[in-house]
Copies of this chain bind each other. A is one copy, B any other.
Amino acid sequence: MSSIVKCKFSKCLNANSLIEEARNLGLIPLPKNQKGIEEILMDMNIKFSPFTEEKAELGKKLYFEPRLSKSGIISCNTCHNLGLGGADGVSAAIGHRWTVNPHYLNSPTVYNSILNASQFWDGRATTLVEQAKGPIEAEPEMATPAKLAVEKISSLPEYVNEFKKIYGKSGVTFDNIADAIANFERTLITPSRFDKFLEGDENALSKKEQEGLKLFIDKGCVACHSGVNLGGNMQPFQVANQYKFASLGDFKGDENGLVKTPTLRNIAETAPYFHNGAIWSLNEAIREMGSTQLGISISNKEAETIAVFLKSLTGEKPKVIYPQLPASTEKTPKPQL
C-alpha cells in the first residue's frame, strides 16, 4: 500500500490494489437485493421491518400522498424528490404554509437512506420507520398529528383494505403508515459505477476517477465517509475549524456535538451542501470539509479530482411508476391551509 501512496497517481495507480485498499477501509458495494440490505442492517444492529413488495407498493402511494400533510399539498416527495437526486435543491426545507425549516436544515436525499446508520442530521432516529414519522408530524413540515394522518388514510377504503391485507388486524396505524413508507424507501437503492469497481471491475472507473478515489482516501475523507453509503454515521462536527456558514441556522449537532455524515452517493445531484445548504459548489464543499473536518488545505485542483470521483457515485435510479391515489371521500378530513 505504501508504494502506491507515494507514487504520482494515474501513472502508477494499480486498480486492483486500489480496490483492495478501498474495501479494506470499509467501502463496500451496494447490496443487490433486499436480503443483502437486511444483512447490512443486521451488521449495523438496526431493526427493520421484514420487506414485502406489497408493503413497498403501498408505501410508494403514501410517499407521494399529499393528504398526509395538513394542507393536502405536501408529500414526502416534495422535499425528497425522486427526480432530483432524492432531495429538493433548496438550502433549507420549505414546509407547511411555506415555513422555512426553523433550524435551517437541508433535506437529505432519500436514496439509499435505508443504509444510513443514523437518520436526521442529529441522528435522533436509527430506522426509517422512526424517521418517516418525523416530517409528517412536524408543524413546520407536513404538520399532521399522527391521529389526523390515521384519520385521513382511514377515510380512503382502498388504503384501509391494503393495510388490512398487509398488517392484519392492526390495519391503518401511524406505525404501519411509517412502516410502509420505509419499505418503499428500501427499494430506493442506486447502484453506480463505483459499486462495479468495488466488485472488481477495474474498468468501471476511469483513471481520473480512480485518481480521485485515491485522493479521497489519502486526504482522509474516507475516515467519515465510509461504509456502504460513504456516510450515514455520526461524527464530530467541526473537528478542526468552524464551518464557514455555521452561523446560518442554529444547528450545533446532537447533544454530544455529533452530526450525521451525509452519504456521498448521488452527491453531484444534491446541491446545495451541508446541514444548512449554504454551499452550492461541490468543489467548494470538498475544500470546506478539508478545512473544517480534517484541518488540511485541499487545493482547487485536488478538489476537482476528488469531485471527478464523487460524480462516479451518481447511481442508476429505480423506475418508479407514479402512483394513482384513492379518491377522497366525504369522510376525508378537509385540507387545512
Contact = CB atoms under 8 A, between A and B. Distances in A.
Given A72-B90, A321-B320, A337-B94, A328 B271 contact: yes
Interface string A57-86: 000010011110001110000100111110
Interface residues of A, number: 42
A281 B97 CA distance: 26
A97 B97 CA distance: 8
A328 B89 CA distance: 8
A323 interface: yes
A304 to B, nearest CB: 13
A327 interface: yes
Contacts of A271: 327-328
A88 interface: yes
A97 B327 CA distance: 27
A72 B98 contact: no
Contact of A90 (B91, B97, B335): B335
A170 interface: no
A334 interface: yes
Consensus secondary structure, chain A interface: loop
A73 B66 contact: no
Contacts of A138: none
B71 A90 contact: yes
B325 A83 contact: yes
Which of A78, A89, A91: most chain B CB closer than 10 A?
A89
A324 interface: yes
Contact of A322 (B83, B269, B327): B83
A158 to B, nearest CB: 12
Interface in A253-306: 268-269, 271, 280-281
Contacts of A100: 337
A193 to B, nearest CB: 16
Nearest to A322: B320
Contacts of A325: 83-84
A72 B277 CA distance: 14
A317 interface: yes
A321 B321 contact: yes
Contact of A83 (B83, B281, B324): B324
A100 B269 CA distance: 31
Contacts of A97: 98
Contact of A327 (B78, B85, B319, B330): B85
Contacts of A269: 327
Given A72-B90, A320-B321, A320-B322, A81 B98 contact: no
A75 to B, nearest CB: 9
22 contacts: A61-B83, A66-B84, A66-B88, A67-B89, A71-B90, A71-B94, A72-B89, A72-B90, A73-B78, A83-B323, A83-B324, A83-B325, A85-B327, A89-B335, A90-B335, A94-B337, A98-B98, A269-B327, A271-B328, A314-B327, A320-B321, A321-B321
| Closest 9 pairs between A and B when the two form their complex, measured CB to CB | A98-B98, A269-B327, A83-B325, A320-B322, A90-B335, A322-B322, A97-B98, A72-B89, A319-B321
